[in-house]
A and B are shown apart, each in its own frame.
Chain A
Amino acid sequence: MRADRRLISKYLLVIAASVFGLAACGGDEITLSDGWVRAAPPGAGMMAGYLTIENGLGHDVELVAVNSPDFGAVELHETIVTDGVASMRRVTDLVVATGDVWRFEPGGRHLMLMRPTGPLAVGDQVTVTLMFSGQPPLTVELPVLRAAPGSRQ
């Protein structure tokens, strides 16, 4: 069952990637890329997800909601380091201006994924849906990884 889900997830990812690829060529879409979720120890109540949002629509959009069937709640947070002290705050300005690229990265903006509905291990996929104003919902599959893609594992 789990294997089936994974296989389906993989196909969805391929389809999603193709759609995004085409959209990127067209340049009139919101593009989501470079997504991943950091693997957390068993029992962790909070995890962080990262991705890049590129607004190629030609007009500003607002990110009105983010949710995931794999988590109780998802919030957008930002780590800010001031005089060496890290603080985490909710991102309140969610307007993605036309042409803007939002990079969610460790130590910066992140999706705060709260209360996982089940255990998540390296290799699993997390489904996240982003709702932008006036746009159909965008769903992405984020792989659970031990460390950022491209970093030395």
Chain B
Amino acid sequence: MNKRLILIIALLGFAGGIVASRLLVPDPALVVEPATATWIKTPRPVPEFELLDHHGQVFDKTRLTGDWSWLFFGFTHCPDVCPTTLSDLDVVARQLAEREDLEPMKVVFVSVDPERDTIERLAAYVPHFNSAFVGVTGSAAQIGQLTANLGVAHQRVALSETDDPDDYTFDHTAAVFLINPQGNLAGVFSSPHVPAQMVEDFLIISGQT
């Protein structure tokens, strides 16, 4: 009889211990993680930099504060990856704009081809995808300040056998970088990009679910 009682008490204690441990220590499975994006949980400050936007206005670090900003690095002579990504970001921007409870966000296209991508060229190119998108350029050294810090690769490569000196392309990082309203890098969205997934991951990272 006593033995049975001890056994019951022991089992209850054991079960209670399990319940208590579940209550006290959060189950890691309950912390929602982005499905595809990399979430930088200790956001990393973006350094000071100075570039120009497609209106000819200074675009520096202060322009990356206040709102969530999506940064993509490319060049306007890029036929596949850059238009595809800007088109995907337009879908993301419009889906997020449908949510009235969310803070406004901005999308910034930073050129890695300062020779060909003048302010005028960016002004003709970037708003085609979304009138709110901002195109940004500067000298190679100015662009380098930002790309080096974010780990963005960009390398000029000759394209074909033609003698046309304009016939070159860039190998460049295809990821989209998410900067939080404090101007810190909070997430990286690697390619291939799926707009619906980017929206979900953004909401998780920005804590706006």
Partner-B contacts on A (CB < 8 A): 38-48, 75, 77, 79, 81, 84-88, 90, 106-107, 110, 112-113, 146-147, 151-152
Task: Supply 9 A–B pairs (Cβ within 8 Å), ascending by A.
Answer: A38-B83, A40-B79, A43-B125, A44-B76, A45-B77, A77-B80, A84-B173, A107-B191, A113-B79
In angstroms, how far is the closest chain A Cβ from the Cβ of B115?
Answer: 14
Q: Which residue of B lies closest to A86 (CB)?
A: B174
Per CB-CB distance, the 6 closest pairs between chain A and chain B, nearest first, are A41-B128, A87-B171, A86-B174, A48-B79, A106-B84, A46-B79
- Closest-by-CB residue of B relative to A82 is B171
Residues in B whose Cβ lies below 8 Å from that of A48 = 79-80, 83
Q: Is the CB of A38 within 8 A of B87?
A: yes
> Nearest Cβ in chain B — how far from A57, in angstroms?
28
B94's closest neighbor in chain A, by CB? Answer: A152
Q: Are A86 and B160 in contact (CB-based, < 8 A)?
A: no
Q: Which of A40, A43, A86, A152 contacts B81 (CB 8 A)?
A: A86
Question: How many residues of chain B have a CB within 8 Å of chain A?
Answer: 31
Interface: B91 (CB within 8 A): yes
Contacts of A87 in B (CB 8 A): 157, 169, 171
Majority SS of interface residues in chain B?
mixed
Q: Are B174 and A47 in contact (CB under 8 A)?
A: no
Restricting to B97-142, which residues have a CB under 8 Å from any CB of A?
Answer: 121, 124-126, 128-129
Q: Once bound together, how far apart are the Cα atoms of A39 and B79, in whole Å?
A: 10
Inter-chain contact total with CB atoms closer than 8 Å: 85
A42 CB, nearest partner CB in chain B, Å = 6
Chain B 142-162 interface mask (CB, 8 Å, partner A; 1/0) = 000000000001000101100
- A110 contacts B79, CB within 8 Å? yes
Is the CB–CB distance between B153 and A107 below 8 Å? no
- The B164-179 residues at the A interface (CB cut-off 8 A) are 169, 171-175
Contacts of A41 in B (CB 8 A): 76, 124-126, 128-129
Q: A48-B79, A84-B153 are in contact. List 17 more A-B contacts (CB 8 A).
A: A39-B128, A40-B83, A40-B128, A41-B128, A44-B76, A48-B80, A75-B160, A77-B79, A79-B80, A84-B175, A84-B190, A86-B172, A86-B173, A88-B80, A107-B80, A112-B79, A146-B87
